[in-house]
A and B are shown apart, each in its own frame.
Chain A
């Protein structure tokens, strides 16, 4: 076998070339103990890192480290606890008086005052600043003046915000919203230092905030190094020396770097690795519920889907989906079958309850009967639309269609309808071009039952893409928002959810879990309800 010798030489040459890389491997793990640096996977943030302009999780990670707002959501329970707020008082659920704790400063030494909040909120709301989360300030009186639906802004600041003194400001809402203080843990409500307004570009290249970390260096598109801020006045001080966020091309490369020991934490385990994750990481793999729910939205603007008996049709489709099986086989239990339209992270007190009941459990015979009573599938075939470029939606949509086809005993009842890109998909959804059910995902902004219902199902609400409308539901939501007692408000929201169920305004599929894996170098790793790692509690061994 003389040929084999040549192959051997070629392999040897390759091996020699590769050995050279071994020396360059580089060890950038920074120390251990309380000063140890945690390296974590990251994706390039989609927007500039302004608090009111960050609406996705990658930018959210940074904001969670460098900012603290009036409230902070407990990483375990999701409960909104006072952070910078000493007290938030109201008598009528419309006028709020907010008092700040003393002793808080930004990491550049500037004091956090009432003005830091009011200026930041006015900036976030103003149309000319093009902030993507501007609508969060929509409840404050005067928002329609700084952010009209059409044309130019008519005012510079919102009339509902007034600074009383250094530590006090008042907020007037345009309508009653008793749970409003609970929303204030959202990043958009963070205070901003003067440096943000004085030299905006400099601030963006190295943001300054009031959280437990400060930005040490930021190379856009590749990595951000955050250091513990030793002068941080809060109680949730960082337990490590800092966090280095590294951008990866995708979650697969990040995962391989974790298993090779070059990375401490990945907060998104790729679907293709879920089968190996037990063997690779053992108990260093986290899989916990996050505030994300996936549903099938129904195009109620299409006459064929908005028939008098349509609720039976939709309930039938819901009962034809074998959620248990799909979450187990396709998602390897990183999704939990849905039993309502909210999320388990709310907890029972927050309003999570099995409201969907039988309508969310699989029963082929019952499904067939309900669909027939509801007039059958419109046009004989329904097409479930999804975007094909990200999120591997094809697998589960095909599985859902399979399940429906099997249950109804009709191979033509359901097919998937891929749309090339996310941009195109959202364009078709928002311009109401859908002719059949379409996938919808909702990640909560704050852990409140209101956030899972009002923006999605209230008549003409901002994310009500299916255009479902029900006066009874709207009435109950209004009533709940005006109810000063939290527990009673939650109960009224649940009644609204029952109205949603009776009409099956959207078909709940499953709750998405947050997943993460970490190296042996670190411990005490957890994900919060927003599926963001709780960086400040991570300990380096």
Chain B
């Protein structure tokens, strides 16, 4: 087990280097000049432009830029400065990640509790009315685009009923994040419910279930331990990969609810060609993905005793 974890951790190093290089190269090959964009519609004094590019190291060949960037990260934990207003990228990331983590955690809890809950209800009553109701509900959620759901929630609960503030304020309280978390977690909730339902309905007919019932185990134990534990494997796989998606893919939700998090930052960095910020962001997201996928693999062994890691 320990050797397996160590091996997986070592594998992260080439993945880390590869992704940073790919992103770096992709940003570099985008058309346009990020420094020029800073001057707006007005004419640019070539001397200032050249001096600014030199200061940012953008006049060097790409392999040299990449080398400087990586050595700074590894030796000094320095992710460079933003082109836009010269803020250190670590500071920008430090502002954006906590709020995104909060939002992702809430959305994750929401989809976990309600998704699995609905899935269990539907799975146990497969083919009956409750199952059909959940089916329709999830279908509805999956088919509504995120921004429509966001605006509907805002319209109904903030403007018509006045139960909540329409936007997340600068204090970014937990309570303000509930609405965006529901919108953000809504789609995944539907997937989780469906996965749980299918998996449970299938395993209900499995041999070990019949054995457990035949042994005379109480119904709670049969469902709670024997059935749930075996049905959770595909759901856990989905939930694991979803953490990364919740953190990096919240562009629309963040925009609607005025959350100044990672999603919006990624979008801005792409349109403004902020290479250093983008690589920093993506690197951290890649690390999150790697860590969660390792965690899931380890969870498999817990859920299914037949799986062993050497």
Tell me the dominant secondary structure on chain A's binding face.
Answer: mixed
Q: Are A257 and B167 in contact (CB under 8 A)?
A: yes
**Residue in A220, A420, A461 whose beta carbon sits within 8 Å of that of B31 in the complex:** A420
Give CA–CA (A130, B30) in the complex, Å: 25
Chain A residues closer than 8 Å to B132, beta-carbon distance: 3
B178 within 8 A of A: yes
B52 within 8 A of A: yes
B257 within 8 A of A: yes
A410 within 8 A of B: no
Q: Are B34 and A26 in contact (CB under 8 A)?
A: no
A247 within 8 A of B: yes
Q: Are A253 and B137 in contact (CB under 8 A)?
A: no
Chain B residues closer than 8 Å to A395, beta-carbon distance: none
Chain A residues closer than 8 Å to B52, beta-carbon distance: 130
In the complex formed, the residue of A with least CB distance to B270 is A421
Give CA–CA (A515, B164) in the complex, Å: 28
A463 within 8 A of B: yes
Q: Are B178 and A132 in contact (CB under 8 A)?
A: no
**Residue in B47, B84, B165, B175 whose beta carbon sits within 8 Å of that of A150 in the complex:** B47
Given contacts A13-B114, A131-B48, A262-B167, 13 further A-B contacts (CB under 8 A): A6-B134, A19-B164, A127-B47, A130-B51, A130-B55, A132-B38, A147-B47, A149-B46, A221-B95, A253-B167, A260-B167, A427-B36, A430-B36
Chain B residues closer than 8 Å to A253, beta-carbon distance: 166-167, 255-258
In the complex formed, the residue of A with least CB distance to B56 is A130
Stretch at the interface among A41-49, A156-164, A350-358: A41-49
- The A-contacting residues of B in range 47-72, CB under 8 angstroms, are 47-48, 51-52, 55
Q: Are A463 and B41 in contact (CB under 8 A)?
A: yes
Chain B residues closer than 8 Å to A28, beta-carbon distance: 169
Give CA–CA (A21, B161) in the complex, Å: 12
A-B contact list, 13 entries, CB within 8 Å: A3-B129, A3-B133, A26-B169, A46-B38, A127-B51, A128-B51, A222-B95, A222-B170, A259-B159, A260-B167, A422-B271, A423-B271, A430-B44
A-B interface, 4 closest residue pairs, ranked by CB to CB distance from nearest:
A24-B175, A424-B32, A462-B43, A423-B32
Number of A-B contacts (CB under 8 A): 200
With a 10 A CB-CB cut-off, give which of A18, A28, A442, A443 has the most chain B CB atoms. Answer: A18
B40 within 8 A of A: yes
Known: A46-B38, A427-B31. A249 touches B264 (CB 8 A): yes
Chain A residues closer than 8 Å to B8, beta-carbon distance: none
Chain A residues closer than 8 Å to B42, beta-carbon distance: 55, 442, 455, 462-463
In this complex, the interface size class of chain A, counting residues with CB under 8 Å from chain B, is: 35 or more
In this complex, the interface size class of chain B, counting residues with CB under 8 Å from chain A, is: 35 or more
Give CA–CA (A430, B46) in the complex, Å: 11
Q: Are B32 and A421 in contact (CB under 8 A)?
A: yes
Chain A residues closer than 8 Å to B44, beta-carbon distance: 430, 462
Known: A17-B178, A423-B33. A22 touches B254 (CB 8 A): no
- The B-contacting residues of A in range 109-152, CB under 8 angstroms, are 127-128, 130-132, 134-135, 147-150
B229 within 8 A of A: no
In the complex formed, the residue of B with least CB distance to A14 is B182
Q: Are A221 and B260 in contact (CB under 8 A)?
A: yes
A246 within 8 A of B: yes
Chain A residues closer than 8 Å to B41, beta-carbon distance: 426, 440-443, 463
With a 10 A CB-CB cut-off, give which of A22, A48, A461 has the most chain B CB atoms. Answer: A22
Q: Are A260 and B48 in contact (CB under 8 A)?
A: no
B197 within 8 A of A: no
Known: A6-B130, A13-B114, A127-B47. A256 touches B164 (CB 8 A): no
Give CA–CA (A24, B177) in the complex, Å: 10
B303 within 8 A of A: no
Chain B residues closer than 8 Å to A483, beta-carbon distance: none
- The A-contacting residues of B in range 238-294, CB under 8 angstroms, are 254-260, 264, 271-273
List the interface of chain B (C-beta within 8 A of A).
30-34, 36-48, 51-52, 55, 84-87, 91-92, 95, 114, 129-130, 132-134, 136-137, 153-154, 157-159, 162-167, 169-171, 173-176, 178-179, 182, 254-260, 264, 271-273
Q: Are B39 and A7 in contact (CB under 8 A)?
A: no
A89 within 8 A of B: no
Known: A132-B38, A249-B259. A24 touches B85 (CB 8 A): no
Known: A18-B178, A260-B165, A262-B167. A220 touches B91 (CB 8 A): yes
A380 within 8 A of B: no
A465 within 8 A of B: yes
A44 to chain B, nearest CB (A): 7
Known: A18-B163, A250-B255, A442-B41. A426 touches B47 (CB 8 A): no
A166 within 8 A of B: no
In the complex formed, the residue of A with least CB distance to B258 is A253
A470 within 8 A of B: no
Give CA–CA (A461, B45) in the complex, Å: 10
B98 to chain A, nearest CB (A): 12
With a 10 A CB-CB cut-off, give which of B39, B42, B132, B272 has the most chain A CB atoms. Answer: B42
B102 to chain A, nearest CB (A): 13
Q: Are A426 and B137 in contact (CB under 8 A)?
A: no
Q: Are B164 and A48 in contact (CB under 8 A)?
A: no
Chain B residues closer than 8 Å to A325, beta-carbon distance: none
Q: Are B169 and A10 in contact (CB under 8 A)?
A: no
Chain A residues closer than 8 Å to B264, beta-carbon distance: 249
- The B-contacting residues of A in range 162-186, CB under 8 angstroms, are none
B-contact 0/1 string along A234-255, CB 8 Å cutoff: 0000000000001111100110
Q: Are A221 and B258 in contact (CB under 8 A)?
A: no
Give CA–CA (A427, B37) in the complex, Å: 8
Chain A residues closer than 8 Å to B30, beta-carbon distance: 421, 424
A279 within 8 A of B: no
Chain A residues closer than 8 Å to B157, beta-carbon distance: 15, 18
**Residue in B48, B154, B182 whose beta carbon sits within 8 Å of that of A17 in the complex:** B182
Chain A residues closer than 8 Å to B169, beta-carbon distance: 26, 28, 246, 262
Known: A221-B92, A423-B272, A430-B44. A247 touches B260 (CB 8 A): yes
**Residue in B33, B95, B173, B254 whose beta carbon sits within 8 Å of that of A249 in the complex:** B254
Q: Are A422 and B37 in contact (CB under 8 A)?
A: yes
Give CA–CA (A19, B165) in the complex, Å: 10
Chain A residues closer than 8 Å to B136, beta-carbon distance: 3
Q: Are A20 and B47 in contact (CB under 8 A)?
A: no
A50 to chain B, nearest CB (A): 10
Chain B residues closer than 8 Å to A222, beta-carbon distance: 95, 170, 260
Give CA–CA (A443, B43) in the complex, Å: 12
- The B-contacting residues of A in range 72-108, CB under 8 angstroms, are none
Chain A residues closer than 8 Å to B130, beta-carbon distance: 6
Chain A residues closer than 8 Å to B167, beta-carbon distance: 248, 253, 256-257, 260, 262
